[in-house]
Amino acid sequence: MNEILDVIIVGGGSAGLSALREVRKHTDRFVIINDGPWGTICARVGCMPSKALIEAANAFHRRNTFEEFGIRGSDQLTLDIPAALQRVRKLRDDFVASTVKTTEELGKRAISGRARLLAPDRLEVNGKELRAHKIIIATGSHPIIPTSWSNSLRDRLLTTDTLFEQETLPTHVAVIGMGFIGVEMAQALSRFGIKVTAFGGNQFAGLTDPQVIATATDLLGKEFPLHLGEKANLNLVHEGIQVRAGSVEIVVDCVLAALGRRPNIDHLGLETLGVSLDQHGMPPVNRNTMQIANLPVFLAGDANDQAPLLHEAADEGYIAGLNAMRSDPLCFTRRTPLTIIFTDPNIAIVGSRFQTLDSAKTLIGEVHFDRQGRARVSQRNKGIQRLYADAESGRLLGAEMCAPAGDHMAHLLALAIDRSLTVQQLLRLPFYHPVLEEGMRTALRALAAQLPVVNEFDLSMCGTFNTEALD
C-alpha cells in the first residue's frame, strides 16, 4: 500500500477545484481524481456554452424590435447557425483551457480515472488502492434520460452534453422538461429560428408564485408552443420522433431532454461508508460543514443535490477543502438563496420562495413592467416582479420575478435580504432615473403602503408621481 495521503479529492469540476485551492494551501500530500474530460461541467457543457448560445439567440431576436426603432431592413438578416455554434465552441474551448491549467500543473497528483470508495479512508482508481486521512467527493451530476429513450432514439436525442457539439440544428425540436435548462434552451433555440415545441410537467422554471408562473408561461408561450402539466412520451417513428403529452401529438426531428440531473453517486461505493443511505442512495450530508455523518468524508457540489448551482458548488468545495484540513469541522452560514434563469425576461428567485411563506404573516408588493418608463423606451416592457415582506417588521423576505434586468435586481434583493433590510430602509436608497430598478421601487412602495407609516420626515415616504415618464 502507498503512503497515506492527507486528502483525496474525487471530481475535478468546480466544487473539486474549489476544494483543491484550499487543500493546496496546507499540504502537498493530496491527489485529485477525475473521470472523463477535465475542464468542469460549467465550462464544457453547462453555464458557459449555454449562455454563449443564449447571447447569439438574443442578438438575432433583437431584430424584431428594429422596425419600431425606425431601423429598416431587419427582414434581410439571417443567422448562420453553423457559425453561431462554432462561436459557442470557440468560447467553450477558451473557458475549458483556462480551467484545465490548474490541474495540468499538478502532474502526477492529478489522476484521470473513475474512483470507487472502499472505506471512509480508502478508494480504488485505475486498479490501484489509495488511502487518505480525508476524502472529498465532488463528482457532479449527469442528465436524467429514461433508458427506453436512450435505447430507441439514439442520435435523435440530445442533452446539453451533446447540443453544443452539433454542427447545425434540426428544423423541429421538442424540448422536454421545463426546468432551468429546458426554458433557457427552448427560448434560445426558438430565437435561432428553430421550430420548438416545449413540454413540461407541473413545475415551471422552479417558480412557485402562481402570478409569476402565469406571466412567465404567457410570455414564453408567445414565442413557442408550450404544453404543461402532462408527462411527455416518446416513440421513434419513420419521420422522426413522435411526442405525446395528454391530447397533444406531434412528430419532431429531434428531442432535447431536460428532465433534471442525477448526482453522480451510483457505483461510487457510498455503501462502504457504513452510514444509512436514503431512497435515492444519498448519505446524510451536513449543509454547513459538507461532512457525511461524522466521517472524514465530505460531499460537495451537484453530487449532494442540495443546491446544484455554480456559486453553491464553489462554496461547498471551499467548505469541504477547509474542513478537510481541520480536526473539527467548522460550520458555515450559507448564502441567501439566489437563482437566475437566463431567459428574456430573466426569471429569478431570491430568498424565501412564495410557496414557503405563511400568507397570514406576509405582505406582497408587485410591479408589472408593461407600463414602466425605461422598459418601454428600450422595448423591454414585459414581465412581473413580486416582492415578499414580513408583515410585522417590514423586513424583505424574498422575491420571484420574470422581469427585464431580473439578473441584476435579483442581486440587489439578495443583498437586502442578506442584510435583513426592511422595505423602508430599501426605499431610502437612491434610485436613479430612468432605470429598470424604478420598477422594483414601485413594488417596494406597494409593500410600504401596507405597512404602518414610519415617519413622514423620512425619505422612504417620498411617493410615486403616478406617471409613466417619472416612475
Ligand X SMILES: NC(=O)c1ccc[n+]([C@@H]2O[C@H](COP(=O)([O-])OP(=O)(O)OC[C@H]3O[C@@H](n4cnc5c(N)ncnc54)[C@H](O)[C@@H]3O)[C@@H](O)[C@H]2O)c1
Ligand Y SMILES: Cc1cc2nc3c(=O)[nH]c(=O)nc-3n(C[C@H](O)[C@H](O)[C@H](O)COP(=O)(O)OP(=O)(O)OC[C@H]3O[C@@H](n4cnc5c(N)ncnc54)[C@H](O)[C@@H]3O)c2cc1C
Residues identified as active-site: 433
Residue 318 or 391 with smaller CB distance to ligand Y: 318
Residues in region 323-362 near ligand Y by CB under 6 A? none
Contacts of ligand Y in 261-280 (CB under 6 A): 264, 268
Residue 369 annotated as lining a ligand binding site: no
Q: Is 302 in the site for ligand Y (CB under 6 A)?
A: yes
Q: Which residue is nearest to ligand X (CB)?
A: 179
How many residues touch ligand Y (CB under 6 A)? 34
Neighbours of 179 (CB within 10 A): 18
CA distance 87 to 82: 9
Smaller CB distance to ligand X: residue 205 or 324?
Answer: 205
Around Cβ 216, how many Cβ atoms within 10 Å?
27
Question: 440: Cβ–Cβ under 8 A, 6 or more apart, which residues?
Answer: 367, 385, 387, 409, 412, 413
Identity of the residue, 316 or 438, whose beta carbon is nearer to ligand Y in the bound complex:
316
Identify which of residues 48 and 440 has a Cβ nearer to ligand X in the complex. 48
Neighbouring CB atoms inside 10 A of 460's CB total: 21
51 known ligand binder? yes
Q: What is the phi/psi pair of residue 406, to 5°? A: -60, -30
Backbone angles phi, psi at 378, to 5 degrees: -95, 10
183 is in an annotated binding site: yes
Tell me: is residue 195 an annotated ligand-binding position.
no
CB 460 within 8 A of CB 427: yes
Q: Which is nearer to ligand X, 190 or 372 (CB)?
A: 190
Could you say whether residue 186 binds ligand Y (CB under 6 A)? no
By CB under 6 A, tell whether 36 contacts ligand Y. Answer: yes
Q: Is residue 213 a known part of a binding site?
A: no
356 grid coordinates: 414557503
The closest of 12, 20, 169, 32 to 88, measured between CA atoms, is 169
47-61 helix and 81-104 helix, angle to the nearest 10 degrees = 150
Q: Least distance from C-beta 182 to ligand X, angstroms? A: 5
Question: Which of 245, 207, 241 lies closest to 226 in space, CA to CA?
Answer: 245
**Beta-carbon count within 10 A of 211 CB:** 16
- Enumerate residues 405-424 that contact ligand Y by CB under 6 A: none
Of residues 214, 225, 260, the one with CA closest to residue 401? 214
> What does 281 bind: ligand X, ligand Y, none (CB cut-off 5 to 8 Å by kind)?
none
Per-residue binding string, ligand Y, 121-150, x by CB under 6 A, is: -----------------xxx----------
Q: Which member of 7, 8, 9, 13 binds ligand Y (CB under 6 A)?
A: 13
The distance of closest approach from Cβ of residue 353 to ligand Y in the complex, given in angstroms and rounded to an integer, is 17
Query: Is 127 among the annotated ligand-binding positions?
Result: no
Residues that bind ligand Y (CB under 6 A): 10-16, 33-36, 40-42, 46-47, 50, 114-115, 138-140, 160, 181, 264, 268, 301-303, 308-311, 313
Binding site per annotation, positions: 51, 139-141, 177-184, 260, 302
